[in-house]
């Protein structure tokens, strides 16, 4: 009877034999055992577990067969009192069945350990929910790991963020991290870069050097050097996320289809790597908007080549900056020195009004408009703040 019932749930013949031979099963008659199994199974099923989860719980913690449903409910209530909701509690039991057996004291101690390390309560709950196996890691080891990261230069906040988003890292040894730091340093990432990148993307710790090289390969085939790739990873670590990385080629294809040469693409994306993060629709739409401002395709290509940040700005902002420059008859400069489009319109207008008011404005002297703050101050003895407040 029992064997058939277990086969029906998905237990294998070997697992069934194992269950029959272990202590809690041997102490019950078959009918009691079947009754317990049915009760347990129905209880776990009602709480969202699948057959494979139930099988895993029984195989890992056979003592569960001697627990009453009431006892399990008490454990769930205990977990509730520690801040875990019912769904979290069952999810943790599913991933770490030993949770049914460990003491409340052990749970409290582990939570206190994280609290002492300044993990916020929400992070503690989400970390343990995502990685209940943390209960098998010694608190001393967690403290040691934390200190190891502090010694490398991470802030407490960085470390909390890393371990909360990827708690399995708590189980990695110091030598594992030491080796990872060394590998990343070999890629010419500075300590600060490593801290920044791994805080943003802790899964990087799990990538081997070869896997990183493999990731770089298609971009190298396109024409980027290893240093180019390292450069934009430093600038925008988010690009390493699969959702961006796997989409890079559609962006590169899009830039090719807009008319940029491979060489120009390398140049503009190294200067402004954010271009690689914008959607293809956005790149096309911005390119189109520039064409609609009465520039030829060649002019737009040349403008973006000399000032790749043009691909980032809101088009209304660019439109207004261009309109103003046209109003003061500096149209020709827009294409030949597109970089002037970086200037905030408020500052340009304030400088222009100042130069007009003081009769210093001449079109031939347009470059005054685009001086740095210090040079403008040295030339005209007026600060940026006074200009913007109209105090002239």
Partner 1 sequence: MDVLIRFGFTIDEIKSMMDTNNLIDSVSDKDIYELIDILEKAGCQDSHIKNIFLCNPFYLTRDVLEVNHFIQKLYEIGLSSLFVLFDSNPYILNMSDRDLDQFYHEKIKEGMNKEEILDTINYSMVF
Residue 342 or 356: which CB sits closer to partner 1?
A: 342
276 contact partners, CB below 8 Å, separation of at least 6: 232, 236, 239, 244, 248, 251, 269
- Residue 324 sits in the site that holds partner 1 (CB under 8 A): no
Q: Considering the complex, what minimum distance in angstroms separates the CB of residue 121 from partner 1?
A: 17
- Pull the structure tokens for residue 267: 């140049």
- Residue 61 sits in the site that holds partner 1 (CB under 8 A): no
Q: Which stretch binds partner 1 (CB under 8 A): 19-27, 125-133, 137-145, 269-277?
A: 269-277
- Residue 323 sits in the site that holds partner 1 (CB under 8 A): no
Q: Which stretch binds partner 1 (CB under 8 A): 31-39, 224-232, 289-297, 315-323?
A: 315-323
- Residue 346 sits in the site that holds partner 1 (CB under 8 A): yes
Q: Considering the complex, what minimum distance in angstroms separates the CB of residue 140 from partner 1?
A: 29
Single residue of 314, 327, 331, 391 touching partner 1 by CB under 8 A = 314
48 vs 21, 45, 130, 149, 255, CA distance in Å?
A: 29, 5, 17, 38, 48
Q: Considering the complex, what minimum distance in angstroms separates the CB of residue 292 from partner 1?
A: 16
For residues 134 and 107, give the distance between their C-alpha atoms in angstroms, rounded to a whole number: 10
For residues 273 and 186, give the distance between their C-alpha atoms in angstroms, rounded to a whole number: 22
Single residue of 82, 313, 361, 380 touching partner 1 by CB under 8 A = 313
Q: Considering the complex, what minimum distance in angstroms separates the CB of residue 339 from partner 1?
A: 9
- Residue 288 sits in the site that holds partner 1 (CB under 8 A): no
- Residue 333 sits in the site that holds partner 1 (CB under 8 A): no
Residues contributing to the site for partner 1 (CB under 8 A): 192, 196, 235, 238, 243, 272, 274, 277-279, 281-282, 285, 309, 312-314, 316-317, 320, 342-347, 372-375, 384-385, 388
């Amino acid at each position: 009877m029992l064997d058939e019932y277990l086969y029906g749930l998905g237990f294998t013949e070997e697992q069934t034999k194992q269950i029959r031979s272990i202590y809690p099963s041997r102490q019950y008659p078959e009918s009691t055992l079947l009754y317990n199994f049915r009760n347990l199974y129905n209880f776990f099923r009602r709480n969202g577990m699948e057959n494979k989860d139930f099988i895993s719980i029984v195989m890992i913690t056979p003592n569960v067969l001697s627990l009453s449903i009431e006892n399990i409910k008490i454990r769930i209530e205990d977990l509730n009192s520690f801040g875990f909701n019912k769904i979290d509690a069952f999810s943790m039991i599913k991933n770490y069945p030993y949770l049914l057996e460990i003491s409340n004291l052990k749970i409290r101690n582990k939570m206190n350990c994280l609290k002492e390390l300044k993990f916020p309560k929400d992070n503690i709950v989400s970390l343990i929910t995502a990685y209940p196996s943390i209960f098998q890691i010694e608190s001393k080891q967690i403290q040691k790991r934390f200190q190891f990261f502090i010694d490398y230069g991470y802030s407490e906040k960085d470390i909390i963020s890393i371990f909360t988003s990827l708690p399995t890292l708590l189980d990695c040894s110091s030598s594992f991290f030491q080796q990872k730091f060394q590998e990343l340093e070999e890629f010419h990432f500075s300590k600060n870069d490593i801290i920044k990148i791994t805080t943003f993307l802790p899964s990087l710790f799990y990538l081997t050097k070869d896997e990183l090289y493999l990731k770089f390969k298609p971009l190298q085939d396109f024409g980027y050097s290893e240093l180019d790739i390292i450069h934009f990873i430093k600038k925008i670590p988010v690009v390493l996320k699969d959702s961006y990385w796997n989409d890079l080629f559609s962006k590169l294809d899009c830039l090719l289809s807009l008319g940029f040469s491979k060489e120009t693409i390398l140049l503009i994306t190294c200067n402004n790597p954010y271009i690689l993060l914008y959607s293809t629709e956005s790149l096309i739409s911005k390119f189109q908007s520039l064409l609609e401002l009465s520039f030829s395709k060649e002019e737009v290509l040349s403008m973006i080549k000399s000032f790749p940040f043009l691909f980032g700005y809101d088009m209304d902002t660019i439109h207004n900056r261009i309109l103003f420059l046209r109003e003061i008859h500096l149209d020709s400069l827009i294409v030949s020195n597109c970089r002037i489009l970086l200037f905030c319109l408020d500052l340009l207008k304030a400088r222009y009004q100042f130069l007009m008011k003081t009769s210093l404005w001449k079109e031939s002297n347009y470059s005054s408009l685009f001086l740095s703050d210090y040079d403008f101050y040295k030339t005209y003895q007026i600060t940026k703040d006074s200009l913007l407040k109209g105090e002239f």
